[in-house]
Amino acid sequence: MKPDPHVFVVIGATGDLTSRKLIPALHTLVAHDDGETYVVGAATTVQDDAAFRATGVEALARTGVDRASAESWAADHLYYVPVPAEGGYDPLARRVEQIERDHGLAGNRVIYLALPPAAFPAAIAAVGAAGLQGGPGWTRLVVEKPFGSDLGSARLLNEVVHAHFAEDEVYRIDHYLGKETVRNLLVFRFTNTLFESSWNRDRIERVEITVAESLGVGRRGRYYDSAGVIRDMIQSHITQLLTLVAMEAPPAFDATAIRDEKVKVLRSIRSIPAEAYVLGQYGDGVVEGSAVRGYRTLPGVADGSSTPTYAAVRVWIDNWRWQGVPFLLRTGKGLARRVTEIAVTFRRPPVCLYHRVPDGCVGHSDVLYLTIQPDEGFSLEIDVKEPGDIDAVRTIPLHFSYSEAFGDIPDAYETLIADVLEGDQTLFVRADEVEESWRLYTPALGYELPVHPYPAGTWGPDQSAALLAADSDRWATGDDGEDAHRGR
């Protein structure tokens, strides 16, 4: 769909996000469609339009755009206004109005905050004071994660936002919601009745959500040491995945209906006690063949820091569908391999005809793996009869791969920006959703929990196995057995 002509204001435009993601995405989305976007970058760096355009040209050239056409596009569509750190956005507002007049635009504006979270409140107040949000057309505010650092700060930030913007003008980004495979969760669940009719406590034994990163914290030590894994990953990305897996079918496929259902899941989650967490921090190790220095050696990390880089959490959802089914959430930096996956383990047969051993029944449960990255797709493990032996049973995967079926997958940012331009809030986090999510995890920020060391390149502290149900001693994702089943 061709978006309405608009001005796209990026506050914090000299950061990496603008050149790496925003300019290429706008170029692809709008220029190719013959649409009209005028990007106005604003930041404290004092520079002119030409300097900003040069950055834009480099950004586009890196994505394969021909340099001559990148230069001509940048000359027509990129502008820059320096702004003071403490606010005072009047010159920015006047420039936006001027561009709208010059190009005969109707006054539609996107205001994108590409800033460190601590700068959000002052920037939103400055936008309001300069009247940037008051154009004659539509206005949409886009805010990056993290939205607040606990329940109190998230509420305050929502108040600041709502002083200047209505909720239906606000687009809180969680880039996981822009991933094609995450969006596919809804399609998978609500078009395939085969699975949906088994998607409950009667058929499912447990659900594991793993976001394992092989990379460490790298150059983000200063930010990460004050954030930690619960703020950085659990409260946002992992909880978003949890809501999509656990929600009821919405009455319609629209932003209100879907987000209402997600909020209901969050409200049904039982408060999470300290015993439900296992935290860890990576030390020196070897990741995928290369030596990695431990977290505490990174620049920006405090001496002897106890900030966790790994968390495993057991969560219970007190509703009719999920009562008694553990949801096991797990994420960490410096782990053995990069994989984001949801593993749904089905119950075993009530009577044991196969897999018998002298004192009972062992064996495998059917597991459905929904792999978000990097091998996007799904895999359903089922038992089949092996030829030969009368009762020899083997577990084999039924496998679907996104890349085999569809080739390249679009970038999450491109998808989300396209939605902002179309005014579709479905994949953005609503105010009540962000607060409900913080309500769940804010207590943990105050718990005095041990932070277990683990060597980089492993699957995190062994203590996390204690969170698994009594009849399972290993996580479905990441252990050797699982890799063997899927032929990796």
- Residue matched to tokens 């002083």: 163
Nearer to ligand BG6, 27 or 175 (CB): 175
Nearer to ligand BG6, 31 or 217 (CB): 217
What part of residues 322-381 is at the interface with ligand BG6 (CB under 6 A)?
340
Torsion of CA 104, 25, 113, 242, to 10 degrees: 130
In whole angstroms, the minimum distance from the beta carbon of 117 to ligand BG6 comes to 11
Nearest-CA neighbor of 177 among 439, 438, 369, 425?
425
In whole angstroms, the minimum distance from the beta carbon of 232 to ligand BG6 comes to 5
Identify the helix (H) or strand (E) that includes residue 112: strand 109-113
Torsions phi, psi for 448 (to 5 deg): -95, 90
Binding residues with ligand BG6: total (CB under 6 A): 4
Distance CA 465, CA 461 (A): 8
CA separation, residue 287 to residues 310, 334, 416, 431 (Å):
15, 7, 32, 38
In whole angstroms, the minimum distance from the beta carbon of 326 to ligand BG6 comes to 24
What part of residues 97-156 is at the interface with ligand BG6 (CB under 6 A)?
145
Nearer to ligand BG6, 145 or 430 (CB): 145
Nearer to ligand BG6, 251 or 374 (CB): 374
Nearest-CA neighbor of 113 among 138, 87, 144, 85?
144
Q: Does 482 bind ligand BG6 (CB under 6 A)?
A: no
Nearer to ligand BG6, 65 or 173 (CB): 173
Distance CA 280, CA 455 (A): 10
Distance CA 59, CA 81 (A): 19
Torsions phi, psi for 451 (to 5 deg): -110, 105
What part of residues 459-478 is at the interface with ligand BG6 (CB under 6 A)?
none
Nearer to ligand BG6, 341 or 482 (CB): 341
CA separation, residue 372 to residues 125, 185, 288, 337, 342 (Å):
37, 9, 20, 14, 8
Catalytic residue of the set 6, 77, 237, 485: 237
In whole angstroms, the minimum distance from the beta carbon of 229 to ligand BG6 comes to 9
**The one among 100, 232, 381, 433 contacting ligand BG6 by CB under 6 A:** 232
In whole angstroms, the minimum distance from the beta carbon of 166 to ligand BG6 comes to 26
What part of residues 198-217 is at the interface with ligand BG6 (CB under 6 A)?
213
Q: Are strands 356-357 and 360-361 parallel, antiparallel or unpaired?
A: antiparallel
In whole angstroms, the minimum distance from the beta carbon of 112 to ligand BG6 comes to 16
Q: How many CA atoms lie within 13 A of 379 on its CB side?
A: 23
Q: How many CA atoms lie within 13 A of 330 on its CB side?
A: 33
Question: For residue 301, what is the DSSP state?
Answer: P
In whole angstroms, the minimum distance from the beta carbon of 305 to ligand BG6 comes to 16
Nearer to ligand BG6, 14 or 240 (CB): 240
- Closest-approach residue to ligand BG6 (CB): 232
Active site residue 162: no
Q: Which residues bind ligand BG6 (CB under 6 A)?
A: 145, 213, 232, 340
- Residues labelled as active-site residues: 237
